[in-house]
A and B are shown apart, each in its own frame.
Chain A
Amino acid sequence: MEMTQANLLTAEDNGIKARLKKIYNSTGMLLIVFVALILVMGIINPRFFTIGNSVILTRQACFLALISMGQMLVILTGGVDVSLGAIIGLCSVVSAIVAKEYGVMAGWMTPILIGLLVGVFNGFVVAIFRIDSFAVTLGSMSICNGLALIISKGLTIYNLPKGFKDLAYAKVLSVPLPVIITIAVIVLMAIILYRMRFGRYIYAVGGNPEALRLAGVNVNKVTIGLFAGAGLLTGLCAAILTSRINSGQPNLGGSLMMDSIAACVVGGVTFQGGVGKLGGVILGALFLSALSNGFDLIGVSSFVKQVIVGFIIIIAVVIDKMKK
């Protein structure tokens, strides 16, 4: 899929061998480990391979993929956005309230708008005041968390209008709508990242912002844009998640923010900035989701799961370092 997109930069790509090599280069060990993981899980518990479980797994992976792509934009510039999880909570409660007042469509759209606004705010402060993105987004994390609790009075909002959950449960040609949306976003992201100026500038900001500035590019605009993108994707993720549980929850984000960083790291996006491929991030999200899903099926407790995921992240980073 987008792996070939990722390599458009190289002049020619012909031959299956060359293509495989490229995929290996862009995703490294991850692909091999991912395939091995699926096989092992499937052998331990054949239910892992059933269509039903595949659907569950892909749907789970969609949420992580969406928010991870947002996180990727920020990490590519050498920063990190820790507010994304909190944005989901805020978006969720607002979405539920708006859906009750103004109908289903408004309920789906508002979270996207809110995500975008918070993203623009983050990007604006980071760009204009030249503040570290961690500090800024730490602040907005707290703000969003607080707002979500104020708006919802700390409670889950139920009784949403009929049809609200269609966003998460509708199917087109028996493919779940969230999967279609996610694939569409991936394609769009691939085009933006590799074939549009804005995308290339995101990589350039991470590589050498001064060089970009001297090349006559408004670096601030790029920074604001990419944070906006991260917020927007998170808002979209929130809309689908809220629809899925059919209620507004102030702490819906849960561990998604941390998982999004993990997916990026496992997928080969480096914290120095400027390096990382979309294919890697998607695979990272799939991998973490499969791991989580597989552990559930074979009966590993979620506590043990956390420990294992932690080790995997560290191993991924070490392998990445050793490859250089």
Chain B
Amino acid sequence: MERKAELLSMFKVTKSFPGVLALDDISFELRKGEVHALVGENGAGKSTFIKILSGAHKMDTGGSICIDKKEVEIKSPSHANQLGIYTIYQEVTFIPHMSVAENVFLGSEIIENGLINHKKQIEETSRMFEEFGYPIDPTRMAADLNVAELRMINIVKALNNDVKILILDEPTTSLTDKEKNILFKNIVRLKNNGAGVIYISHRSGELKELADRATVFRNGKYVDTVEMADIKGLDDLIPLMIGKEVQNKYPKAKAPIGHEILRINKLSRNKFFDDVSFNLHSGEVVGIFGLVGCGFEEVLGSAFGVDSYDSGEVEIFHNNKMQPLRKSSTRAALDNNIAFIPRDRKTMGLLMNLSVAENVVISSYKDFSQKIVNLINSRKVQNTADDYKKKLNIKTPSVKTIVETLSGGNQQKVLLARALCSKGEVFLFNQPTAGVDVGAKIEIYEFMNKLTKAGSGIVIVSYELQEIMGMCDRIVVMCQGRVVKTVKTEETTSDEILAYAFGYKN
């Protein structure tokens, strides 16, 4: 294959934050007309890397960045744009109470006689989106749009410029196939025009489809760059990403199955789910699978008491017999040793502004307080948190560190620690590994094995069929709010489960 001309080269790039070395002596090269994948676990330094390229962070002195063989210093986001570097961040950024057109032209308004020409901006926006193949009404308020539409706005906005280097960070998150295809078409167009694309994604299918080369980062260090043609799939890169051979993505260890510990009995909630029954035994992992909107997340929420339900019963093993659980009370659930790991750890799980230790003990502060005046025994808190840090291998400088600064996988571990700390016996996991990298995923699965071995039971609700097949003893399939099938994992196949979930079989 003909070697294309070099577009960007970065040499000895280092970035340190107080207490953390986020990027350590990284070198990187991007060619013209190339899609270059950047892969690595959460916390490998990918985000810091692109923030330096996009001007959001300044790198430490000593490194160099060259574009078209000319050394440049990227001073600010707007300066990066002047150099032809445009970034689409993982987080969708927008101003909620402004129109699509205003969002698109934010920072580069069309000015005539000192005034913004709104009409022209609206027309231009219309034209841009038409050209992109994704028509949208430019006068709609950003606050009224869904995430996929907002993401497309971010993308179209960047691509409307003279782009030399495009950086995409998990661009397909929350996009439908239709939108994805539009995006990919435009990436290919850009590439054919000689631009370079840096593409970050956890989805191996996309990378296989789009990328020419892939560079692996690990713990802020450069590991290797490979031609995509030379490898079968991204799985080949996993050992490079986590630095050790992975035997099995789903290290399921069977535990002896004991008595019943949770019974969901004919549970119904208007508009969400109807007549749902299943049970859970000690030592068992039950997986609930279904498509988006099948109601399984709501079932879990009602069981834990986050939401109410209309009829039916949740029963829990207590004092040697099954007893009904008070409804819509998370306190009652916690007191009966039910632990819940919500899906969105940022908004529903963690208190992002508090420390690791506080997050671990927040649902069980009672156990850390003196009996009479209720003063918190901070030494006990500290010791317990340290304990969990060790047990779960939470990577944090200290348990006093603010949770927000940890990587996704480690944040998820903090949530697990909280569940353990509140003495859970029944664990309800909603999407336990969403947005978590491979290494941490495996650690979480191994942690589940430990729980079942100790006699706990686990319910996993997940959109990832592989995870359900890989980790569960029994599978409950839901379709449109109803349980359509309950089956032992070894007696079924992925195809069968999917057929039930889609409603082809019932």
Chain A interfacial positions (CB closer than 8 Å to B):
8-11, 191, 194-197, 200, 203-204, 207-208, 210-217, 274-275
**Residues from chain A with Cβ under 8 Å of B99 in the complex:** 9
Interface residue stretch chosen among B35-43, B114-122, B400-408, B414-422: B114-122
In the complex, 20 of the A-B residue pairs with CB atoms within 8 angstroms, ordered by the A residue number, are: A194-B116, A195-B115, A195-B116, A196-B116, A197-B109, A197-B111, A200-B109, A200-B116, A203-B95, A204-B106, A207-B97, A210-B93, A211-B93, A213-B77, A214-B93, A215-B77, A215-B106, A216-B76, A217-B78, A217-B107
Scoring B residues 123 to 156 as 1 if CB is less than 8 Å from chain A, else 0, what string do you get? 0000000000000000100000000000000000
| Nearest B residue (CB) for A274 | B97
Q: Is B502 an interface residue (CB 8 A)?
A: no
Q: Give 6 closest A-B pairs by Cβ, nearest first.
A: A216-B78, A215-B107, A211-B93, A207-B95, A195-B115, A215-B106
| Nearest B residue (CB) for A10 | B139
Q: Are B95 and A214 in contact (CB under 8 A)?
A: no
Q: Are B102 and A9 in contact (CB under 8 A)?
A: yes
Q: Are A196 and B119 in contact (CB under 8 A)?
A: no
Q: Is B89 an interface residue (CB 8 A)?
A: yes
**Residues from chain B with Cβ under 8 Å of A191 in the complex:** 115
Q: When chains A and B are docked, how far (Å) is the Cα of A9 from the Cα of B108?
A: 17
The dominant DSSP class at the A interface is helix
- Candidates B56, B106, B118; contact of A211 at CB < 8 Å: B106
Least CB distance, A55 to chain B, in whole angstroms: 34
**Residues from chain B with Cβ under 8 Å of A200 in the complex:** 98, 102, 106, 109, 116
**Residues from chain B with Cβ under 8 Å of A212 in the complex:** 95, 106-107
Q: Is B94 an interface residue (CB 8 A)?
A: yes
Q: Are A217 and B106 in contact (CB under 8 A)?
A: yes
| 7 further A-B pairs in the complex, CB-CB below 8 A; given A9-B102, A212-B95 | A200-B102, A200-B116, A204-B106, A210-B93, A216-B77, A217-B106, A274-B95
Q: Are B115 and A208 in contact (CB under 8 A)?
A: no
Least CB distance, A246 to chain B, in whole angstroms: 38
- Candidates B98, B109, B111; contact of A207 at CB < 8 Å: B98
With A9-B139, A11-B119 known as contacts, the answer to whether A211 contacts B109 (CB < 8 A) is no
- Candidates A11, A203, A217; contact of B98 at CB < 8 Å: A203
**Residues from chain A with Cβ under 8 Å of B95 in the complex:** 203-204, 207-208, 211-212, 274
Q: When chains A and B are docked, how far (Å) is the Cα of A204 from the Cα of B142?
A: 12
Q: Are A196 and B115 in contact (CB under 8 A)?
A: yes
**Residues from chain A with Cβ under 8 Å of B102 in the complex:** 9, 200
**Residues from chain A with Cβ under 8 Å of B410 in the complex:** none
Q: When chains A and B are docked, how far (Å) is the Cα of A213 from the Cα of B122?
A: 22
Q: When chains A and B are docked, how far (Å) is the Cα of A126 from the Cα of B115?
A: 28
**Residues from chain B with Cβ under 8 Å of A8 in the complex:** 118
Least CB distance, B31 to chain A, in whole angstroms: 26
> Which residues of chain B in 63-99 are interfacial with respect to chain A, using CB atoms and an 8 Å cutoff?
76-78, 81, 87, 89, 93-99
Q: When chains A and B are docked, how far (Å) is the Cα of A9 from the Cα of B102?
A: 9
Least CB distance, B489 to chain A, in whole angstroms: 44
Least CB distance, B159 to chain A, in whole angstroms: 15
| Nearest A residue (CB) for B143 | A207
**Residues from chain B with Cβ under 8 Å of A195 in the complex:** 115-116, 118
Q: When chains A and B are docked, how far (Å) is the Cα of A115 from the Cα of B81?
A: 37
Interface centre among B81, B98, B111 (most CB of A within 10 A): B98
**Residues from chain A with Cβ under 8 Å of B87 in the complex:** 214
With A196-B116, A204-B106, A207-B96 known as contacts, the answer to whether A214 contacts B76 (CB < 8 A) is no
**Residues from chain B with Cβ under 8 Å of A197 in the complex:** 109, 111, 116
Least CB distance, B136 to chain A, in whole angstroms: 14
Least CB distance, B428 to chain A, in whole angstroms: 32
Q: Are B139 and A11 in contact (CB under 8 A)?
A: yes
Least CB distance, B160 to chain A, in whole angstroms: 13
**Residues from chain B with Cβ under 8 Å of A11 in the complex:** 119, 122, 139
With A208-B95, A216-B76 known as contacts, the answer to whether A9 contacts B106 (CB < 8 A) is no
Least CB distance, A225 to chain B, in whole angstroms: 15
| Nearest B residue (CB) for A204 | B95
Least CB distance, A202 to chain B, in whole angstroms: 11
Q: When chains A and B are docked, how far (Å) is the Cα of A10 from the Cα of B141?
A: 10
**Residues from chain B with Cβ under 8 Å of A194 in the complex:** 116
**Residues from chain A with Cβ under 8 Å of B118 in the complex:** 8-9, 195
**Residues from chain A with Cβ under 8 Å of B108 in the complex:** 215-216
